[in-house]
Amino acid sequence: MARESESGLPIEPVYGPDALEGWDPAEKLGEPGAYPFTRGVYPSMYTGRPWTMRQYAGFGTATESNARYKQLIANGTMGLSVAFDLPTQMGHDSDAPIAHGEVGKVGVAIDSIDDMRVLFGGIPLDKVSTSMTINAPAALLLLLYQLVAEEQGVSADKLTGTIQNDVLKEYIARGTYIFPPKPSLRLIADIFKYCRAEIPKWNTISISGYHMAEAGASPAQEIAFTLADGIEYVRTAVAAGMDVDDFAPRLSFFFVARTTILEEVAKFRAARRIWARVMKEEFGAKNPKSLMLRFHTQTAGVQLTAQQPEVNLVRVAVQGLAAVLGGTQSLHTNSFDEAIALPTDKSARLALRTQQVLAYETDVTATVDPFAGSYVIEKMTDEVEAAAVELMAKVEDLGGAVNAIEHGFQKNEIERSAYRIALETDSGERVVVGVNRFQLDEEEPYEPLRVDPAIEAQQAERLAKLRAERDQAAVDAALDDLREAAKGTDNVLYPMKDALRARATVGEVCNALREVWGTYVPSDAF
């Protein structure tokens, strides 16, 4: 009996030439590094050099996170990826009442340029590529990074990295939004324009399916809703007067890698093909780089288990292999203990070593797109593509990604998928090793890394000192300029940078924008 894939598509026991009857390799495959980019965005892929090993890290104070970054660099990581705590992600200072109990817990607390300066102290910003997982306040953290680089003597045209900056998926699956959709999209357009003029090598957005997948989206839903969001961002920028080829080459994406290797490989190949076609046919992009779907991958945190956590090492290795076989441009491999707590130094190092084994001890980097021409992979790529395109058409029928979000379409579809997964796991139909099969009578003790609760008081002290020392009149004037820009059509990033340079805090800057733009309240909260 045929099995079903994660997207609910049939997987046959045997595939042969009849699976690809009428299939045109020139149309479906092309050459690596050429349209439609099914086989990868670069001609040589990993035969020239491996993917960027970009380990996600950040916890507690800027001092603690800075030490972790330096350890990762010493152990061979090629790029940094910053995790921010929940108050920072929501645009609140560490001493705000709403931040109580969350400071430094799921990432590093950044309240001002003072913290950012400590976070990257001793790390040459012209030598590393930095990704920042930040969305609603993405502009602020990017500007703080630029200001710290300027203090190091590094010009903005030498900075490389990515801000996630993907607010639409926050309304769908994650919830760390601040402003309503329209001003949020306006802010993204301002970031596109600012970076084109000031930080030309920076990837201005990482359109994310990862968090949708973590919420329960199937592979087909993951790429469909992510690419639909990408289309909305492109339309917003074009409507703001930008030429598509002026910003599209700096767009990037962020996907999950599950343990289901075959469908994951097919998913990545299908996503590249869909995006290339959309950019060429709908937006008329001429620059080949505008057609390339470049993406970062993170292994599936939702598939990690607190039971027998060492088994997660195996899961992460398999997931990482799926990402590499699918042609990712950079990769984060989760630590085996993340289902329990923040990773320890040892587990973070083991996660990086997993990537290094894949890159240097296997032969998967010896050839481009190893699965090309495989009956099963090509058939699955076509099927995932068709399922994703059908979902994207439904989003279009509702008026595009924002209107579909307001109708709750993507959220409802993902919740149905998540419910199906939960039922299959509870019934035992879906095997999760150590959870519903192959359990231990008693789990071995494990001592997790814990964040010191005193961090909250320490950050509050730092903020009190900052407010006492700074030129308050300069801060107030800069925040007034920011409010005026937000009310009109001027690019808000220039007065925002002035405010942050004057040592305005993240919370103060976000509050100034809240006063003008308001905050988003989901319709199901009424």
In a domain, 178, yes or no: yes
Q: What is the mean pLDDT of residues 21-34?
A: 94
Question: In angstroms, how far is CA 103 from the centroid of its own chain?
Answer: 21
pLDDT at residue 419 in the model: 97
pLDDT at residue 450 in the model: 83
Same domain, yes or no, for 347 and 482?
no
In a domain, 383, yes or no: yes
pLDDT higher than 50, residue 306: yes
Of 359, 392, 427, the residue that ends a domain is 427
Same domain, yes or no, for 55 and 195?
yes
Tokens representing residue 329 in the block: 């441009």
Same domain, yes or no, for 353 and 479?
no
- Looking at per-residue pLDDT, the higher value among 77 and 40 belongs to 40
The structural domain count of the chain equals: 2
pLDDT-derived band at 444 (thresholds 50, 70, 90) equals: confident
Angle ∠(19,24,30) on CA atoms, nearest 5: 120
Residues spanned by the domain of 477: 472-525
pLDDT at residue 1 in the model: 52
Q: What is the mean pLDDT of residues 60-82?
A: 93
pLDDT in tens, 113-124: 999 999 999 999
Short-list 178, 108, 185, 115, CA closest to 145: 115
pTM: 0.95
Q: How far apart are CA 262 and CA 377, in angstroms?
A: 7
Q: Tokens 């441009």 identify what position?
A: 329
Same domain, yes or no, for 342 and 414?
yes
Same domain, yes or no, for 508 and 397?
no
pLDDT in tens, 410-426: 999 999 999 999 999 99
Same domain, yes or no, for 416 and 477?
no
pLDDT at residue 451 in the model: 83
Of 401, 427, 453, the residue that ends a domain is 427
In a domain, 189, yes or no: yes
Question: Could you tell me if 221 and 391 are in contact, meaning their C-beta atoms sit under 8 angstroms apart?
Answer: yes
pLDDT-derived band at 449 (thresholds 50, 70, 90) equals: confident
Of 427, 458, 487, the residue that ends a domain is 427
Q: How far apart are CA 245 and CA 169, in angstroms?
A: 24
Q: What is the mean pLDDT of residues 330-344?
A: 94
pLDDT in tens, 354-396: 999 999 999 999 999 999 999 999 999 999 999 999 999 999 9
Same domain, yes or no, for 388 and 512?
no
In a domain, 17, yes or no: no
In a domain, 293, yes or no: yes
Q: CATH number of the domain at 338, please.
A: 3.20.20.240
pLDDT at residue 524 in the model: 59
Same domain, yes or no, for 127 and 259?
yes
Same domain, yes or no, for 142 and 231?
yes
Q: Tokens 């030598």 identify what position?
A: 127
Sign of torsion, CA 91 116 73 205?
positive
In a domain, 58, yes or no: yes
Helices (H), 299-408: 312-325, 345-360, 375-397, 401-406
Q: What rounded mean pLDDT belongs to the chain?
A: 96
Same domain, yes or no, for 517 and 412?
no
In a domain, 444, yes or no: no
pLDDT-derived band at 329 (thresholds 50, 70, 90) equals: very high
Same domain, yes or no, for 304 and 155?
yes
pLDDT at residue 386 in the model: 98
In a domain, 33, yes or no: no
pLDDT higher than 50, residue 526: no
Q: Which of 105-119, 226-240, 442-456 has the lowest mean pLDDT?
A: 442-456
Partners of 4 in beta bridges: 10
pLDDT higher than 50, residue 10: yes
Same domain, yes or no, for 165 and 246?
yes
